[in-house]
């Protein structure tokens, strides 16, 4: 048994896209860091939205990640620890052959995000709807889809099974047959003060991205990707693996959003703010290139969303079988 930690820090998040802020946005980003630690019986991924002092990849894992509690028998056993088999899992996963993601038909919850209660109501429905919409896809992928993440709202700090969150952080923690998504409600509430529409787009996209990591977890991709990352010997290769994993989480999240766009609806101002958000998220100068460029983050988000069609597919999100330039 071991602990898998995927840590994503959105060190800088674009503020509401008002014109006067455009100049500053080139130096801002939605940062994602990922890290992995090996501990008994746990597997987790976490997301941060706020700055931490140093960049880089969190604690290195010591152990056999392929044996992390996984829903798929195919990644259990000794073979799963090899780079080749992990590459098979991330690159040729049955997830990529699943059909159209169904629309959840969930409407956006019409509530102010100024309060914890508001954020909770808003995000809990999103979570419930993602759980339902992804069910047929994950079952078709062969995953044993029985782990529904629990949403936990917190202020500035939280102690979790996966570790301590010390900055406002959206945080996915999967361990065995359980998973939690931590949401720093105050962060979203502050965003709401500046731009309610942007806060809605942000809250929606963040939950969708976190759920993208859950899809990765359920299909074995999360663990296999981490195993690959640690098997690589160069920093450049490790960072590229991180970018593939993070860009995929955004793509999968956007695929859910796109599948349900007519019902939510993700249109008009909310869509334009969402578009702005995903096109202004990614790596910035001075930090590790672990998340992807703004351009590629936008590209994969749109690939998932696929606004030109009513059908979206997880197979559009195979970042692990894409050219390096597409995950730069
Ligand atoms: Zn992430």
Residues pairing with 47 in the sheet: 8
| Surrounding residues of ion ligand 1, Cβ less than 5 A | 8, 32, 246, 249
Indicate if the pLDDT at residue 80 is higher than 90. Answer: no
Residue 104 CA to ligand 1 centre (angstroms):
22
Of the ranges 145-149, 165-169, 204-208, the best mean pLDDT one: 204-208
Identify the three-state secondary structure at position 15. coil
Report how far residue 149's alpha carbon sits from residue 135's, in angstroms, rounded to the nearest whole number. Answer: 13
Residue 73 CA to ligand 1 centre (angstroms):
25
C-alpha distance from residue 278 to each of 66, 133, 226, 300 (Å):
31, 22, 24, 9
Supply the pLDDT for residue 102.
96
Average pLDDT over residues 152-174: 88
Residue 295 CA to ligand 1 centre (angstroms):
17
Confirm if 257 and 278 have CB atoms less than 8 A apart: no
Report how far residue 83's alpha carbon sits from residue 30's, in angstroms, rounded to the nearest whole number. Answer: 29
Residue 33 CA to ligand 1 centre (angstroms):
7
Residue 122 CA to ligand 1 centre (angstroms):
20
Residue 24 CA to ligand 1 centre (angstroms):
23
Neighbouring CB atoms inside 10 A of 99's CB total 12
Residue 240 CA to ligand 1 centre (angstroms):
14
Q: What is the pLDDT of residues 204-223, one digit of tens each?
A: 999 999 999 999 999 999 99
Q: Return the ∠ at Cα 297 (arms to 294 and 303), rounded to 5°.
A: 140
Residue 300 CA to ligand 1 centre (angstroms):
13
Residue 170 CA to ligand 1 centre (angstroms):
9
Report how far residue 58's alpha carbon sits from residue 6's, in angstroms, rounded to the nearest whole number. Answer: 8
Burial of 167 (0-12, 13-18, 19+ CB in 10 A): middle
**Share above pLDDT 90 across residues of the chain, in percent, rounded to a whole number:** 63
Q: Of the ranges 55-59, 79-83, 264-268, which one carries the lowest mean pLDDT score?
A: 55-59
pTM: 0.79
Report how far residue 311's alpha carbon sits from residue 320's, in angstroms, rounded to the nearest whole number. Answer: 22
Residue 209 CA to ligand 1 centre (angstroms):
6
Q: What is the pLDDT of residues 311-327, one digit of tens each?
A: 999 999 999 999 999 99
Q: Of the ranges 30-39, 131-140, 238-247, 278-287, which one carries the lowest mean pLDDT score?
A: 30-39
Looking at per-residue pLDDT, the higher value among 179 and 61 belongs to: 179
Average pLDDT over residues 177-204: 96
Q: Which of 131, 176, 122 is nearest to 153 (CA)?
A: 122
Residue 30 CA to ligand 1 centre (angstroms):
10
Indicate if the pLDDT at residue 151 is higher than 70. Answer: yes
């Amino acid at each position: 048994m071991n602990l898998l930690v995927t840590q994503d820090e959105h060190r800088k998040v674009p503020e509401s896209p008002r014109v006067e802020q455009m100049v500053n946005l080139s130096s801002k980003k939605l940062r994602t860091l990922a890290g992995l630690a090996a501990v008994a019986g746990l597997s987790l991924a976490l997301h941060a939205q706020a700055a931490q002092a140093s960049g880089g990849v969190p604690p290195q894992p010591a152990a056999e990640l392929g044996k992390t509690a996984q829903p798929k028998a195919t990644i259990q056993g000794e073979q799963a620890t090899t780079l080749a088999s992990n590459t098979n899992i991330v690159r040729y996963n049955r997830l990529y052959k699943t059909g159209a993601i169904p629309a959840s038909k969930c409407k956006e919850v019409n509530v102010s995000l100024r309060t914890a209660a508001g954020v909770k109501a808003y995000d809990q429905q999103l979570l419930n709807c993602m759980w339902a919409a992804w069910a047929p896809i994950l079952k078709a992928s062969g995953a044993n889809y029985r782990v529904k993440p629990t949403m936990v709202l917190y202020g500035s700090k939280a102690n979790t099974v996966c570790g301590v969150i010390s900055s406002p952080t959206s945080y996915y923690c999967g361990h065995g047959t359980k998973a939690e998504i931590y949401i720093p409600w105050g962060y979203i509430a502050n965003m709401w003060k500046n731009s309610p529409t942007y806060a809605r787009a942000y809250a929606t996209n963040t939950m969708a991205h976190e759920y993208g990591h859950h899809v990765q977890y359920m299909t074995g991709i999360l663990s296999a990707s981490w195993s690959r990352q640690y098997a690589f010997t160069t920093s450049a290769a490790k960072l590229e693996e991180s970018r593939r994993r993070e860009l995929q989480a955004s793509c999968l999240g956007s695929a859910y959003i796109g599948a349900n766009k007519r019902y939510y609806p993700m249109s008009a101002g909310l869509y334009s703010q969402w578009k702005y958000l995903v096109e202004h998220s990614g790596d910035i100068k001075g930090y590790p290139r672990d998340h992807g460029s703004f351009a590629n983050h936008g590209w994969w988000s749109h690939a998932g969303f696929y606004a030109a069609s009513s059908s979206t597919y997880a197979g559009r999100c195979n970042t692990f079988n894409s050219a390096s330039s597409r995950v730069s």
